[in-house]
Amino acid sequence: MNRTQLVMKAIGWQGGTVHALCAHLGIDVQEFLYSQPRHTCTGSSYNSGLYWNTNSPEHQKKLQEVYRGNKDYWLGVARCMEMLEK
Query: pLDDT value at position 51?
Result: 97
**Number of domains into which the chain is organized:** 1
Q: Containing domain of residue 8, as a range?
A: 3-85
The overall pTM is greater than 0.85? yes
What would the pLDDT profile of 21-55 be if each residue is shown by its tens digit? 999 999 999 999 999 999 999 999 999 999 999 99
Query: pLDDT value at position 43?
Result: 93
Phi, psi values for residue 81, rounded to 5°: -65, -35
Compute the mean pLDDT over every residue in the chain, rounded to the nearest whole number: 96
> In degrees, to the nearest 5, what angle opens at C-alpha 31 toward C-alphas 69 and 11?
50
Count other Cβ atoms within 10 Å, centred on residue 82.
14
Residue of 26, 50, 24, 19 lying closest to 37 (CA atoms): 50
Gap between the Cα atoms of 44 and 61, Å rounded: 20
* Averaged pLDDT, 5-13: 97
